Structure 1
Amino acid sequence: MCIFVKKLRLRSYITALFCVLTASVFSQTVRKYSNEFMNIGVDAAALGMSSAMTSHTSDVNSGYWNPAGLLKLEDNQLALMHSSYFANIANYDYIAFAKPLDKNSVIGVSLIRFAVDDILNTTQLIDEQGNINYDRISLFSTADYGLTFSYARSLPVRGLNYGVNAKIIRRIIGDFASSWGFGFDAGVQFETDNDWKFGVMARDITTTFNAWTINEDEFKKVQDAVEGQNQELPETTEITIPKLQIGVSKLFDFNYDYTLLAAANLNVRFEENNDIISSSFASVNPALGFEFGYIDMVYLRAGVGNFQNELQIDDITEKLTFQPSFGVGFKYNGIQIDYAFTDIGDQSVALYSNVFSLKVDFSFFR
């Protein structure tokens, strides 16, 4: 009897992560929070400023933050980033390239991959006779991909630029299910003569749809392996509702060698949630970011964002939480290396992530 109980416990422990992953995808008919991996952010420099980038982003990473910022490029640029989440269980990787076509237009392309690899598939761990056979364990990955094509162009108004993104989303859960999704973003930036910058970024403006294809044979193995599973196949449609980001920033110079960039964002979702400002129509979450620079070579960054009114255990009182971030950067001869230390949740959770990114400006190698 004891051996049998131990077998059941072993089976439950190994399948726990797999069940969580599949349930997170198939739990609702139409999910409004799909493709959340596309909201994590890219570039350690930006994450060190709590993602307050909408108004002043001006490099290859603008394809993500606001494609209008690509107009600031003078030559080709390449960017790379890697970070790990959840105690190195999940890996987040990013690569981007942008190229000016002429003085009035720029194109770019970027790819994001967020994945948990080498997950144990134990649906066949116990054979028909009730015996555990470890040779029946296999590995699979759950991976999300976001491929973005960007185009930016200047408008006939001085200081005003616009940009658009076309996104292709690919999500895969081993051999069990996969999906395709498509969506669009649009953004504008405006810079005044006294160096004030303003920006607006509309994400998923047409509502991004994901259509899932489920492998019924593999999904049935999950149902058979986990007691109490619903025997009906889940629905297969997800939507990503539009979001709006509004930003303002200004760069201050001190004695030619020192600079201070101050930036603020208002991140708007058209729903009611736990954001610091929330109504039945929309919720607003502010973010503040600062970057101190020395001779355009060394940078120190800090930011705060993700303000949430979290309901406490008594279901009555609320507590205001926030997400702090810090970062450093170094730039020399067209190569920039950045690092960010940021909490993926809020300041009360000890799940901090180390983010590294690299940016190469080809103009210095001509």
Structure 2
Amino acid sequence: MMPLLDVSVAEGLVAQSASILTLDNFWLSALLKILLCTVMLMVVSLVGGYLEHKAMGHLQNRTGPMEAGPHGSLQLVADGIKFVQKEDIVPRAADKLVFAVAPGVALVPALLGFLVIPIGPGVWAEDLEIGLFYALAIGSIGVLGILMGGWASANKFSLIGGIRAAAQLIAYELPLILAAAAVAVQAGSLSLVDIVESQATMSIFGTPVSMWFVFPQLLGFGIFVMAALAELSRPPFDMPIADSELVFGYMTEYTGIKFAMFLLTEYGGMIFMSGLITVLYLGGWQALPGVPLPGCEAAAGISDCGVWGTLLGVGITLGKIMALVFFMVWLRVAYPRLREDQLQKISWLVLIPLSLVNIAIVAIGKVAL
């Protein structure tokens, strides 16, 4: 009797089914991770926006928005509904395709950057071996959307704002990368998870020492924070917007949902950069240097924690992120906008030389210690 199914054919069908299952799991996993990052971007950005509204209000001795929700907590939700209902106006002389695509080009990198930010022990979408390189690269793409929007608007104020944003990227990308490279040298890894764990497991002359990188690299921390503010076009580095002279810079001609996407990009960028600073310099989800979270196994580093330890780690990370967001808001209230020549001089004559000195000191210390 002939067999109903040859053994080789059966093995081929099983292998094909396994590959299809793996492929489906890959796409399902990727979809869930992107969905998680989208939800995090929306929720945390709304919290950051609310913090900016209320913090600015109290710092300037005014109440701020109070009508929508308890203490004005739903104001940004109301603003989002308003933006959706507004008419989408496109200037007659604009490059319509580039004009329409630019907000998405600016927003998507802010979304994808969250894929590699660890927000708690074992809580991250991807632990890439080159996570730091990915984060810095993806964060640099957003300025292309700003430049596209400024050029495509057919408005001289928008064009000047876009050119200023490109000039800031060129000037401040160098100190940002050099400061981050110094962290990678000290941690001995480009993985953001490894960088967090190295701040709890580093050693000096063979002696285990738990120390956040902000302490040995205080200079690098200051350089990275200033460069990050310039990358985000946050005050006092907000010359690309400069509403007192450029109306609203590269966003002048945008209305409705496209304008809301640019605003969401700004808030999302604040959260992303604050998360990156937390991971690189502030110990990630560690509450205090040398103090493990409840349920963490000391032998397995600081990534294996129980449910309560994981939740506490996530809360600590988000608390640090919100503290950095508040610091950015305070700078907006406390300091005036820098002139374009001052902004460029700070980068080329101060930050870049200091960042070279910083990475040299860290490299020497890494070899010596």
- For normalisation by structure 2, the TM-score amounts to 0.25
More strand by proportion, 1 or 2?
1
Query: Greater relative contact order: 1 or 2 (C-alpha under 8 angstroms, separation 6 or more)?
Result: 2
Under a length normalisation based on structure 1, what TM-score does the superposition of the two structures give?
Answer: 0.25
